[in-house]
A and B are shown apart, each in its own frame.
Chain A
Amino acid sequence: MDEIKEILKKYPDRRGALLPTLYVAQKAYGWLSQEALEEAAKALNLPPATVKGVATFYAMYKHKPMGRHLIQLCTNVACMIMGAERLVDLLKERYGLEPGGTTEDGRFSLVIMECIGACDRAPAMLVDTDFHADLNENNIFEILEKYE
């Protein structure tokens, strides 16, 4: 709520503050559930239906539940050559994690990305907002184990 109030200060009207507010709601709820949308609507005093219309228009919001941590792993050319596909298989073996899916315990979600601009240090991934590169079969799990 406080964060939303801060956002509100920056925008001339409530509708303008909607997109950033949806980000805040998404962070708090993991994804834009009906409940998250309702909260966002309440915070901005906008009709819930209007909020939903805007939220579903943009691709950058999550409309399905996501794990606590989002792994965005690149499998584009450079990363692929450097073994990214093998990493995908390993994630499946170790955590039962499929691309586009979420682990049963809700810990990780995996999204396969197109080039994330780190080809020189491929393969690379983002975990939430942290960047990790030069991945291999071992260090990827060392890294991931730090995310509870």
Chain B
Amino acid sequence: MIKLTIDGKEIELEEQVTVLEAARRAGIKIPTLCYFEGLKPFGGCRLCLVEVEKLPRLQTACTLMAADGMVVKTETEKIKAARRAILEFLLINHPLDCPVCDKAGECELQDLVARYGPDAGRFTEGKRHHPESFDDPIIVRNMERCVLCTRCIRMCEDLQGAYAITVTGRGSHSFVEPFSGGRYNCEYCGNCLTVCPVGAIMSRLHRHSYRPWFVEKEVETVCGYCGVGCSMVMQMREGKIIRTIPRMGLGLNNGLLCVRGRFGYDYLQSEQRLRSPLIRRDGELHEVSWSEALDYVASRLKEIKEKHGPQAIGAIGSGRCTNEDNYMLQRLMRFTIGTNNIDSSARLYYAPALLMLEGILGQGITANLIPGIKNADGVVVLGGDPTQINPILGLQIRAASRDGAKVITLGRAKGLERFAHIMLPGAPSNVDVVLGMIIQELREGVELKGENKWLQEQLSKVKVTEPIEGIPLDETIGALREMKNAVLVLGPEVLQSDNSDRTLLLVAALVYLLDARVFLLSERPNYQGAMDMGVLPDMLPGGRPLEMFKQKAEEALGREVPADRGLNLFEMIDAASEGRLKALYVMGENPVFNMPDKDRITEALKKLEFLVVQDIFLTETALMADVVLPARAWSERTGTYTNLERRIQFIRSGTDSADGMEDWRILEEISARLGEEKRFAILDEVWEEVVHVSPLHSGLGYDDIKDGKAIWPYKGEPLRGVEETYEIQGLDNIRPIKSGQVLQLDRPLYHSGSISRHSKALRSIEDEAFIVISTKKAEGLGLADGDIVKLITDRGSLQARIKIDSTVDEDNIYISNTFTEANFGSLSGYEAGRLGSLSLDKNPVKLEKV
């Protein structure tokens, strides 16, 4: 126990903290400038000076540790004079251009000067001049305003881990600069903008259109880009977002955002947003009224159901839509139309991976808290770069590494290069060999307690018949054995191979042996929710297998539930091309663009008698539709998302949309027109039914969700046990497959599927697709970063610039699926893998120098 006195107040402390923190706890505010909560103290600005009895000079409160018996004064004449002098010094060089500075009103320097500052400076020398830099598309740099507090640099290095900026030069010629001196070329998280106390670095997106007092409304919501589910505040004026910012203490991201969440909101105001329902007549899409469109959809669905039966109709749900939307879509399909033909693009990887992991290890196995990653003493990463796919989760791994955790990566993980201790090669199709080698060693000497008999049996069968050379196996095993509190982060890549079931079994075995917490990376904000709501052909809401739960669901709802397992995403495409599926209802998904093999998907959809697309843009899929229904976008509606930790969070409406309708409401209207008697007037009624039907969510009200209490396990009970078994082939004969050069899907940091291409801000950072290749491949072809190459597959070719990634496997060539002009989907083929996920093994590709 430490006792000290600050400004006459006695303070008792349980733990060692700084004088600044002790004062804060006692409600005494000491002025600061270079200090920022969460960053390492720097002690550079000296504004936090305090007088401490028995210490000769004034002390900086942000670096001085509170000690027993200390007597501290925070506001004496001596201190005030010192602060005034410091501020006067800062103002020697700081321009007094507050009227044109976007920071005015929330500038810490302005506030400090107003409180302590001199009325007039005594220095008459000219201020230093340094032109404002507009070299960067996103960040304006005005170094005349910089007070060299280094908050931005500490943010970029210590929390973001990007090391993109530095102080260059010396003395009054010191400036904060990115390496290039111009463009930042960094991770563009914008977190440095949050911490800058003055207007030295500012976002260009709201230049001269933002002032703190312009904000008419603030709404707390959750980012709509990826499965992390970061909290943010939308600041609005006249129904439009001026900016989105994180807040300290708010949400799992606690003050941090990534580039997509921070700058990617401008797609909402795109000119290309859908404004009106459209119906195809004589081959063209025509604007019609809502009632006409809804009536038409209902009548066509009814007609097709009567003629071909309910099994001729299918639906694709969305990882970008809310739980309520997805629930209503599956409700329409299952209970109103009478088919289980419903799935989403979670099929490509997330759903099969999750279901198998849960099948082996138990439901909720991936429900772990992201902020807890940093407390791990070891992190194993495989299947893609978390710092790109789920950036804020990636930061947690960086933080763990900084705190001494051993980080081991398999395969692509460029963003962890500075943080990983062991980087093992791991081509998506051969990662099972590396995993097998690890398991063979790791199981030795481990006493298997028989908690999971089936898994243990499988585990003991593992045999690598042809190991991969050059793997530091001893070192890896040594590091793994030392992990007492391990985390395993699994990404999409290793599941996109023919062997994905075997790979996943090996992953499960590793999780079991390490007793690790698993995290499954998720590219969409609500894949987990879509699945939990029953957007799966063989599962009902609550993650309940159809055959086991059919009767219970019928009792709960008083409705019949179709008995047969429905078609999954791939099967629906096949059924459409074979003419068995006649109608497809697509909500918030763009399969023509987002799935591989664009030609195959297009051909299949062409065969449909009726295609409905509900979206915010006229997507490639919508262009083929018979009816297009404009939905509301993320910021225009409320509802819940379930993130990859299975935290259920609220998204809230802030901006206006006169044109679109919420997805769930469109579905509700159509159901009613199909004879559904139960009506849902407000969103809460939808959730009430979810809670009633899904045992997982029972007892979980909106109030709990709003209070942030909706963290797994919810009040309901997880039902599914562990004891599922799988037929895994070739566990005793694991060896590398030589599949030659294959095309893989890149998942870049700055983009996210077909939404981000409508964001001018994100496009200003990266406006082209890059072909990502390994260092070795680049050397072999004599290529340097940025050179143009031709990429050829049996489906066509394209030219693009290359990006070299030292963590990429030599035989894998990556391209993203973001840009209309050059994308993965139109050049790749696919097969459904054994696990029911996407397999890209037979995707041969060639590269040619141009």
**0/1 per residue, B593-619, Cβ < 8 Å to A?**
000000000000000000000000000
**A residues within 8 A CB of B289?**
none
B208 within 8 A of A: no
In the complex, the answer to whether A57 meets B179 with C-beta atoms within 8 Å is no
**0/1 per residue, B174-211, Cβ < 8 Å to A?**
00011110000000000000000000000000000000
Which residue of B163, B170, B418 is within 8 Å of A57 (Cβ)?
B170
B705 CB to nearest A CB, Å: 41
- In the assembled complex, the Cα of A52 lies from the Cα of B178 at a distance in Å of 9
Smallest Cβ-Cβ distance to A53: which chain B residue: B166
**0/1 per residue, A48-69, Cβ < 8 Å to B?**
1110110011000000000000
**A residues within 8 A CB of B418?**
45, 47
A34 within 8 A of B: yes
In the complex, the answer to whether A48 meets B170 with C-beta atoms within 8 Å is no
In the complex, the answer to whether A47 meets B167 with C-beta atoms within 8 Å is no
A91 CB to nearest B CB, Å: 30
A114 CB to nearest B CB, Å: 20
- In the assembled complex, the Cα of A4 lies from the Cα of B178 at a distance in Å of 25
- In the assembled complex, the Cα of A45 lies from the Cα of B418 at a distance in Å of 8
In the complex, the answer to whether B164 meets A52 with C-beta atoms within 8 Å is no
**B residues within 8 A CB of A48?**
179
B445 within 8 A of A: no
B813 within 8 A of A: no
B164, B166, B167, B180: residue with the most chain A Cβ atoms closer than 10 Å: B166
A64 CB to nearest B CB, Å: 14
In the complex, the answer to whether A49 meets B169 with C-beta atoms within 8 Å is no
In the complex, the answer to whether A34 meets B180 with C-beta atoms within 8 Å is yes
In the complex, the answer to whether B168 meets A52 with C-beta atoms within 8 Å is yes
In the complex, the answer to whether A56 meets B168 with C-beta atoms within 8 Å is yes
B165 within 8 A of A: yes
In the complex, the answer to whether B178 meets A49 with C-beta atoms within 8 Å is yes
Smallest Cβ-Cβ distance to B170: which chain A residue: A57
- In the assembled complex, the Cα of A27 lies from the Cα of B830 at a distance in Å of 53
A123 CB to nearest B CB, Å: 32
- In the assembled complex, the Cα of A50 lies from the Cα of B158 at a distance in Å of 13
In this complex, the interface size class of chain B, counting residues with CB under 8 Å from chain A, is 10 to 19
- In the assembled complex, the Cα of A37 lies from the Cα of B167 at a distance in Å of 15
- In the assembled complex, the Cα of A49 lies from the Cα of B161 at a distance in Å of 12
In the complex, the answer to whether A52 meets B179 with C-beta atoms within 8 Å is yes
**B residues within 8 A CB of A47?**
163-164, 179, 418
**A residues within 8 A CB of B166?**
49-50, 52-53
In the complex, the answer to whether B165 meets A49 with C-beta atoms within 8 Å is yes
- In the assembled complex, the Cα of A49 lies from the Cα of B180 at a distance in Å of 8
B167 CB to nearest A CB, Å: 6
B665 CB to nearest A CB, Å: 49
A56-B169 contact given A49-B178, A49-B179, CB 8 Å threshold: yes
- In the assembled complex, the Cα of A134 lies from the Cα of B166 at a distance in Å of 46
Which residue of A37, A45, A52, A57 is within 8 Å of B177 (Cβ)?
A52
A38 CB to nearest B CB, Å: 8
A89 CB to nearest B CB, Å: 32
**A residues within 8 A CB of B177?**
49, 52
A34, A37, A49, A56: residue with the most chain B Cβ atoms closer than 10 Å: A49
A57-B169 contact given A49-B178, A52-B179, CB 8 Å threshold: yes
**B residues within 8 A CB of A52?**
166, 168, 177, 179
- In the assembled complex, the Cα of A57 lies from the Cα of B166 at a distance in Å of 11
Smallest Cβ-Cβ distance to B169: which chain A residue: A56
A76 CB to nearest B CB, Å: 25
- In the assembled complex, the Cα of A56 lies from the Cα of B166 at a distance in Å of 10
A139 CB to nearest B CB, Å: 39
B775 CB to nearest A CB, Å: 11
B369 CB to nearest A CB, Å: 30
B387 CB to nearest A CB, Å: 15
**A residues within 8 A CB of B164?**
47, 49
- In the assembled complex, the Cα of A53 lies from the Cα of B241 at a distance in Å of 37
In the complex, the answer to whether A50 meets B163 with C-beta atoms within 8 Å is yes
- In the assembled complex, the Cα of A57 lies from the Cα of B177 at a distance in Å of 13
In the complex, the answer to whether B168 meets A53 with C-beta atoms within 8 Å is yes
- In the assembled complex, the Cα of A60 lies from the Cα of B368 at a distance in Å of 52
Smallest Cβ-Cβ distance to A48: which chain B residue: B179
Smallest Cβ-Cβ distance to A46: which chain B residue: B163
- In the assembled complex, the Cα of A8 lies from the Cα of B247 at a distance in Å of 42
Smallest Cβ-Cβ distance to B186: which chain A residue: A49
- In the assembled complex, the Cα of A81 lies from the Cα of B523 at a distance in Å of 76
- In the assembled complex, the Cα of A17 lies from the Cα of B325 at a distance in Å of 58
In the complex, the answer to whether B163 meets A53 with C-beta atoms within 8 Å is no
**A residues within 8 A CB of B167?**
53
Smallest Cβ-Cβ distance to A55: which chain B residue: B168
- In the assembled complex, the Cα of A53 lies from the Cα of B148 at a distance in Å of 13
**A residues within 8 A CB of B168?**
52-53, 56-57
**B residues within 8 A CB of A45?**
418
- In the assembled complex, the Cα of A89 lies from the Cα of B169 at a distance in Å of 33
**A residues within 8 A CB of B169?**
56-57
- In the assembled complex, the Cα of A102 lies from the Cα of B41 at a distance in Å of 45
B368 CB to nearest A CB, Å: 31
- In the assembled complex, the Cα of A37 lies from the Cα of B168 at a distance in Å of 13
- In the assembled complex, the Cα of A8 lies from the Cα of B551 at a distance in Å of 70
Smallest Cβ-Cβ distance to B161: which chain A residue: A47
A104 CB to nearest B CB, Å: 26
- In the assembled complex, the Cα of A50 lies from the Cα of B176 at a distance in Å of 11
- In the assembled complex, the Cα of A128 lies from the Cα of B800 at a distance in Å of 45
List CB contacts (< 8 Å) of B114-171 with chain A.
163-170
* The 8 nearest A-B residue pairs measured at CB: A53-B166, A47-B163, A56-B168, A49-B166, A48-B179, A49-B179, A56-B169, A53-B167
Pairs A–B under 8 Å by Cβ, sample size 9: A47-B163, A48-B179, A49-B164, A49-B178, A49-B179, A56-B169, A56-B170, A57-B168, A57-B169
Given contacts A52-B179, A57-B169, 9 further A-B contacts (CB under 8 A): A34-B179, A47-B163, A47-B179, A49-B163, A49-B166, A49-B178, A52-B168, A53-B166, A57-B168
